[in-house]
């Protein structure tokens, strides 16, 4: 098989296509031929050496893809030809991947491979943010950071579908326009006084701020109302400064963390939540935006495009 690999840490130029032996599935694993692969910032961080990598080089990044079953052992519940997808299994940047059966999500015929690869990781993230980290209710006010990004666009749409009013934050006016198209009721850029905008939007502060930037956590705490909540789930802008618990006490505010892997514990969790997302795609309440498609052989260019922060939606690799 061919795989996108790197043997040293560095920029996109360390990536190259290489012929490797086909993976041999272990007990309970299924061999999947990928048809579309989702590129994520976690892949960039692994290539740069910022995330843990097991084993020795050559390393294969990637955790998200959709494709077809090539072979499956008895008892896995899958058969050759089945359409499947996954969001949390390693070595996805390859033509063939051995995936634990419990991590596979059956893919309905009416959900395209590209749609699944563009939706699952970021859609499941947006979903748990509004269901688990802070269950949203109709009439609540919401601040969404990085609202033009992959998670951000989906989060805006799910929040609006829940009946919330959304203030979307992005780095440029071009990106706030993307958030508006996703359904945001108001927008601001990071160059604006967005804390004041949030305080006005929520009449004293928003009910909840979903913060994936990290370095903005203190300002997010100022942007939420008395008794409001900040959900911290990413560090795209760097590590946050420590928070004095007295800030929380004085404003009766809550700061909580969010991690998808604490929610997706079982095969049933993955499949039930994914099915919910597929239903939303079918009924039109969730639109998946694909910004760019690159052949697997052009993985370096795909990484460079994602790192440029120009992507207004998902970047896919196509084997």
Q: What is the pLDDT of residue 204?
A: 95
Model confidence at 260, pLDDT cuts 50, 70, 90, reads: confident
Judge whether 8 and 14 are in contact, CB under 8 Å.
yes
Q: What is the pTM of this model?
A: 0.93
- Two structure tokens written together for 115: 């749609």
Residue spans of the domains in the chain: they are 2-120+264-318, 138-257
Q: Nearest 5 degrees, angle CA 276-CA 278-CA 280?
A: 75
What is 138-257's CATH number, 1.10.3210.10, 3.10.450.50, 3.40.50.720, 3.40.50.300? 3.40.50.720
**How many C-beta atoms lie closer than 10 Å to residue 117's C-beta?**
30
Assigned CATH class of 2-120+264-318: alpha beta
Q: Which residues contact 60 (CB under 8 A, 6 or more apart)?
A: 3, 4, 5, 20, 90, 91, 92, 93, 94
CA-to-CA dists, residue 116 to 110, 130, 191, 264, angstroms: 10, 20, 34, 17
CA distance 73 to 25: 9
- Do strands 206-211 and 141-144 pair parallel, antiparallel, or not at all (unpaired)? parallel
Bridge partners, residue 30, by sequence: 72, 99
Judge whether 288 and 314 are in contact, CB under 8 Å.
yes
pLDDT tens, position by position, 73-116: 889 999 999 999 999 999 999 999 999 999 999 999 999 999 99
pLDDT tens, position by position, 200-225: 999 899 999 999 998 999 999 999 99
CA distance 16 to 28: 30
């Amino acid at each position: 098989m061919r795989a996108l690999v790197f043997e040293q840490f560095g920029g996109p130029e360390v990536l190259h296509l290489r012929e490797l032996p086909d993976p041999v599935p272990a007990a309970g694993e299924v061999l999947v031929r990928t048809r579309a692969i989702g590129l994520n910032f976690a892949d960039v961080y692994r290539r740069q050496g910022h995330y843990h990598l097991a084993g020795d080089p050559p390393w294969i990044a990637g955790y998200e893809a959709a494709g077809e079953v090539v072979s499956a052992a008895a008892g896995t519940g899958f058969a050759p030809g089945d359409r499947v997808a996954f969001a949390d299994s390693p070595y996805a940047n390859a033509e063939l991947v051995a995936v634990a059966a419990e991590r596979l999500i059956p893919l309905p015929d009416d959900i395209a491979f590209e749609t699944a690869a563009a939706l699952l990781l970021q859609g499941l993230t947006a979903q748990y943010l509004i269901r688990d980290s802070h269950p949203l209710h109709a009439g609540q006010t919401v601040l969404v950071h990085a609202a033009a990004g992959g998670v951000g666009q989906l989060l805006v749409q799910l929040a609006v579908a829940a009946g919330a009013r959304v203030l979307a934050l992005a780095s440029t006016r071009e990106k706030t326009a993307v958030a508006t198209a996703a359904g945001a009721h108001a927008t601001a850029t990071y160059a604006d006084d967005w804390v004041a905008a949030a305080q006005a939007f929520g009449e004293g502060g928003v009910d909840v701020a979903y913060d994936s930037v990290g370095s903005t956590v203190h300002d997010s705490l100022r942007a939420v109302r008395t008794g409001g909540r900040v959900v911290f789930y990413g560090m795209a802008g760097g590590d946050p400064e420590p928070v004095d618990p007295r800030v929380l006490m004085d404003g009766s505010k809550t700061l909580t963390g969010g991690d998808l892997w604490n929610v997706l514990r079982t095969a049933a969790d993955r499949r039930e939540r994914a099915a919910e997302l597929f239903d939303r795609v079918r009924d039109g309440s969730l639109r998946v935006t694909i910004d760019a498609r690159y052949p697997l052989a052009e993985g370096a260019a795909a990484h460079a495009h994602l790192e440029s922060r120009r992507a207004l939606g998902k970047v896919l690799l196509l084997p």
